[in-house]
Amino acid sequence: MAVFTPLNDAQVSSFLERFDVGNLASFEGVASGTENTTFFVTTDRAPLVLTLFEQGEHDELPFFVDLLDYLAEHRLPVPGPVHDRQGVALQSLAGKPALLFPRLPGKFPKHPSLAQCEALGDALGHMHFVSQRFEGHRPNPRDLHWLLATHHQVLSYLSPSDQALMSDEIDTYQGAFENADTLPQGAIHGDLFRDNTLFDGDRLGGIIDFYNGCTGDLLFDLAIVINDWASDADGSLNRERHDALLRAYLARRPLTEAERQCWPLMLRMTALRYWLSRLLVVYVDPPAHELTPHNPEQFRTILNRRITDGALPLPA
Ligand SMILES: Nc1ncnc2c1ncn2[C@@H]1O[C@H](COP(=O)(O)OP(=O)(O)O)[C@@H](O)[C@H]1O
Ligand SMILES: N[C@@H](CCOP(=O)(O)O)C(=O)O
């Protein structure tokens, strides 16, 4: 599914000659991607991943390269792009922008254990600690401004009560966030769901798919993570996973008072962000491929639970 641009042996072999990574042994298309063409490439020296960028803003790729370079230099478990013999990472192959990465070990956890939550919280806290000094800049493409500008496109597909829910929520965020103290800023992953991690047992092998990466509120990233990693099927927060993840995160980066104040609303805003982005995929801008879109209802349920139940107390 994810091979939108097929490649042959000769193309991959000659591409690899630009790098000091050894000679091609084998390569195969990866089925699980949705936006880009991904190949697992094995040389006589290393397992690698080759990505061809099929869509999105290609002029934003240098931001992603710089961010991954920076995080890899700071010993975060991310695939730092391989640079060629001239020191350049961003390449062109078959007419598409291309990057080569180390292949990181593991697979994503469908049902994360407490140890996996703890490992992810530790890595995210470490990432946010160092990412405050990252010098790149890319405004968050899914922030409150985007919610405000975009939500009108889906309202007509919703029931009257869901229309009111969405509009009232966005009004609430506007009132609260526009008057809040500035929250700590830095580079964020922007979409750190379970399926963007690789675990080898309880060891975090890697955090991947940084193409929602941007700069903005660190709390936004943390709320996305808690809503995905610590929600039960009914949308409620699972206290054990919540506490395991947050305890490890807070040991790396304590929250400021302003962040603590905003936390319950940030959980709601990031739930609505996915309700909306999934609705847009279903009703407004369906993808060219036939993969089943993610279910928007899951995030409406999470949003409703956060409104009804509030946030859990943050662990000490
Ligand atoms: N550096 C990596 N190491 C190991 N596996 C990877 C790596 N990068 C991508 N993958 C695998 O390729 C799949 C697709 O990559 P991803 O960047 O998520 O593509 P897309 O943006 O098209 O969804 C991932 O789900 C993962 O299985
Ligand atoms: N992880 C997301 C998919 C990516 O979100 P998008 O904003 O890039 O569309 C999900 O589960 O919906």
Q: How far apart are CA 203 and CA 269, in angstroms?
A: 30
pLDDT at 62: 97
Q: How far apart are CA 40 and CA 129, in angstroms?
A: 31
> Following DSSP, what letter does each residue of 12-39 receive, concatenated?
HHHHHTTSSS--EEEEEE-SS-SSSEEE
Query: Mind listing the pLDDT tens digit for each residue in 208-267?
Result: 999 999 999 999 999 999 999 999 999 999 999 999 999 999 999 999 999 999 999 999
Look at residue 167 and tell me whether its pLDDT is greater than 90: yes
Look at residue 33 and tell me whether its pLDDT is greater than 80: no
Is the distance from CB of 50 to CB of 98 less than 8 angstroms? yes
* Atom 11 (ligand 2) nearest CA: 294
Query: Mind listing the pLDDT tens digit for each residue in 177-206?
Result: 988 889 999 999 999 999 999 999 999 999
Residue 239's contacts (CB-CB under 8 Å, 6 or more residues apart) are 312
Which of the ligands is closest to the CA of residue 79? 1
Q: How far apart are CA 306 and CA 301, in angstroms?
A: 9
Atom of ligand 1 nearest to the CA of 79: 1
Mean pLDDT, the chain, rounded, equals: 96
Q: Residue 76 Cα, ligand 1 centroid: separation in angstroms?
A: 17
Residue 315's contacts (CB-CB under 8 Å, 6 or more residues apart) are 243, 246, 247, 250
Indicate whether residue 306 lines ligand 2 (CB < 6 A): no
Give the chain's end-to-end CA distance (angstroms, integer).
Answer: 45
Residue 246's contacts (CB-CB under 8 Å, 6 or more residues apart) are 121, 226, 314, 315
What ipTM was predicted for this assembly? 0.95
Spell out the domains of the chain, with CATH numbers in brackets.
9-102 (3.30.200.20), 114-309 (3.90.1200.10)
Q: Residue 164 Cα, ligand 2 centroid: separation in angstroms?
A: 23
Q: How many CB atoms lie within 10 A of CB 298?
A: 18
Indicate whether residue 191 lines ligand 2 (CB < 6 A): yes
pLDDT at 80: 98
Q: How far apart are CA 73 and CA 135, in angstroms?
A: 14
Atom of ligand 2 nearest to the CA of 212: 8
Residues with CB under 6 A from ligand 1: 2, 30, 32-36, 38, 49, 79, 101, 103-104, 198, 206, 208-209, 211
Query: Mind listing the pLDDT tens digit for each residue in 98-134?
Result: 999 999 999 999 999 999 999 999 999 999 999 999 9
Q: Residue 21 Cα, ligand 2 centroid: separation in angstroms?
A: 32
